[in-house]
Structure 1
Amino acid sequence: MSNQLYGNDTPAGVKDAKGLHLITQSTPNGQKVQILLEELADVYGIEWTTTLINISTNEQKKDWFLRLNPNGRIPVIVDNSVSPPFPVMETSAELLYLLKFDKDGKFGFTDEFENSECLQWLFFWHGSGAPYQGNLGFFRRAAEKLPFAIERFRKETARVFGVLEIRLSGKYTGEPRDYLAGKGRGKYSVADIGTWTWVKNYSASGYTEEEMKEFPHLVKWVSCIAERPAVKKAIGEKYKNQ
């Protein structure tokens, strides 16, 4: 299997990597895995190596990359600590895979129901949030402006922001929350990480501060997570393409 994963066209930094290796670009999807790795490093001192690519050049569509992820999307994790090396694609699956290194359960849950909550909100954003906000960005940047498409994805993105606001505000439970999953006010987890990297870009998605006043608990949640040292590192210069 390792011979199938790596070929003569595979960059040396990928092919020769030991242990965990991350192939990424600092997009919202790339930042999800970057954040969890940095959080795990702060708590447990885990180590990994990184290859930064530029998806605007379609590097992720080349054969060497498609051997690791046939879907041709970043990020990809390759775990070289096992034999044969094990590649992991899809950000939510990658976050869940990395929880194997979270020995004390800092970013996940052992309780059956809390874990289910975590999965529900992680999958909610993966399937119902990121596609809308991602398409909104695509059509806003497109050379040919399609007002119907922009308006549709703008409304749907605002709708899922509203779902997150309901959850964080405690509108139907009477108990506001700090985080998406967990008992009481919740606990910072992969559910938050998997959602935050997109939602934080609400301004770039075209929402004004005035419009975001409709989602005060969500805005507070965005600001709170932004202050975490590991988060700052994960979206900072370390992962900028040179």
Structure 2
Amino acid sequence: MSDLSRFPITKKWPAARPDVLQLYSLPTPNGVKVSIALEETGLPYEPHLVSFETNDQLSPEFLSLNPNNKIPAIIDPNGPGGAPLPLFESGAILVYLADKTGQLMPTDPARRYETLQWLMFQMGGIGPMFGQVGFFHKFAGKDYEDKRPRDRYAAEARRLLGVLDKHLEGKAWIMGDEYTVADIAIFPWVRNINGFYAAGELVGYADFKQVDRVLQAFLARPAVQRGLTIPARPA
């Protein structure tokens, strides 16, 4: 049995199954990237809920794994060379899981880099910009009288959706017929801006028919449906 005792995070979230990958997360657009990838690959794992309501992400135990205090993070007891591997940043975790399982990433080197290109498009563009739209439209920012910040981020979110919509013309997925980590990274955020953030009208979501077509295909996948609810929130 793997010994994860050297990781302080296991004191707050004990591992019932220390021989499988440990996931520390919350079902947000960033968090579900990893739970969906794990469900898609079939890799055994144990999820642990990191509650923002109780500031779990700021606890010393969580910070020992991710000093940037963001979810998700993992410990793989069976990392490279057989040693446990702690890892944070959702994009890095997606690449790691794809490499570990030989799934969700093209084997052709050129197509691999193209997939990474779209993964970075989400990490550097869609995630931060859609998140700002959520803040200024749904959360504290909605009370600001000056709507210029909201409108700036809404315009950038619309531009990014346009880039994605044009790319998806005639394609089943970001990489054509091949479903990859790029889809898993991008579409939880697309779902969120039109769903939880309720900003579809603000960004003109109805204009992006190709984006919505692929989003619906994404949401129809059983692994996606499971991953969107993991880790389970308290009833």
TM over 0.5: yes
Query: 1:235 aligns to what?
Result: 228
SS state at 2:14 partner:
helix
**Equivalent residue, structure 1, for 2:148:** 148
Residue of structure 1 in register with 2:71 after alignment: 74
**2:47 is paired with a residue of what secondary structure?**
strand
Task: Please give the alpha-carbon distance, in whole angstroms, between the structure 2 residues aligned to 1:168 and 1:209.
Answer: 22
Equivalent position of 2:97 in the other structure: 98
CA distance in 1, matches of 2:152, 2:97: 35
Q: Deviations over 1:105-151 (max 9, x none)?
A: 3x111101111110000001110110000111112210642411111
Identity of aligned residues (%): 30
* Per-residue deviation, 1:211: 2.9
Shift of 1:213: 3.0
User: Structure 2 counterpart of 1:100, which letter?
Assistant: D
Greater alpha carbon shift after TM alignment, 88-97 vs 134-143: 134-143
Of the three residues 56, 64, 80, the one matched with 2:53 is 56
Within 1, Cα distance between the matches of 2:132 and 2:67?
A: 21
Map 1:186-225 → 2, pairs under 5 A: 186-204=177-195, 205=197, 206-208=199-201, 211-225=204-218
Answer yes or no: is 1:138 the counterpart of 2:130.
Answer: no
Q: In the superposition, relative to structure 1, how do residues 21 and 125 fare at CA in structure 2: closer, same or farther (>3 Å)?
A: same
1: CA distance, partners of 2:117 / 2:162: 16
Q: What CA distance in whole angstroms lies between the structure 1 residues aligned with 2:202 and 2:132?
A: 21
**Superposition RMSD on alpha carbons, in Å?**
2.2
Q: Work out which of the residue numbers 6, 9, 16 in structure 1 matches 2:8.
A: 6
Structure 2 vs 1, CA of residues 36 and 210 (structure 1 numbering), >3 Å: closer, same or farther?
closer
CA shift for structure 1 position 208: 2.9
| Letter matched to residue 179 of structure 1 | W
Q: Which runs of 5+ in 2 are unaligned?
A: none
How many residue pairs match? The answer is 224
Superposition deviation, residue 19 in structure 1: 2.5
Residue aligned with 2:194, SS = coil
**Secondary structure in structure 2 of the residue aligned to 1:57:** coil
Deviations 1:76-110 (Å, cap 9, x if unpaired)? Answer: 0111224653211111100001113323x3x1111
Return the match for 2:121 from 119, 124, 141.
Answer: 124
**Aligned twin of 1:165:** 165
* Counterpart for residue 171 of structure 2: 177
Q: TM-score, normalised by structure 2?
A: 0.88
What is the TM-score of this pair, normalised by structure 1?
A: 0.85
**CA displacement, residues 138-177 of structure 1 (integer Å, 9 cap, x when unaligned):** 12210642411111111111110011011002xxxxxx11
Question: Residue 10 of structure 1: CA displacement?
Answer: 2.6
Whole-angstrom CA distance in 1 between matches of 2:157 and 2:191: 13
Q: 1:162 to 1:12 in 2, by over 3 A?
A: closer
Q: Where do 5+ consecutive residues of structure 1 fail to align? A: 170-175
Judge which range, 80-89 or 108-117, deviates more.
Answer: 80-89
User: Does 2:26 align with 1:32?
Assistant: no
Q: From the superposition, tell whether residues 72 and 15 of structure 1 become closer, same or farther in structure 2 (CA, over 3 Å).
A: farther
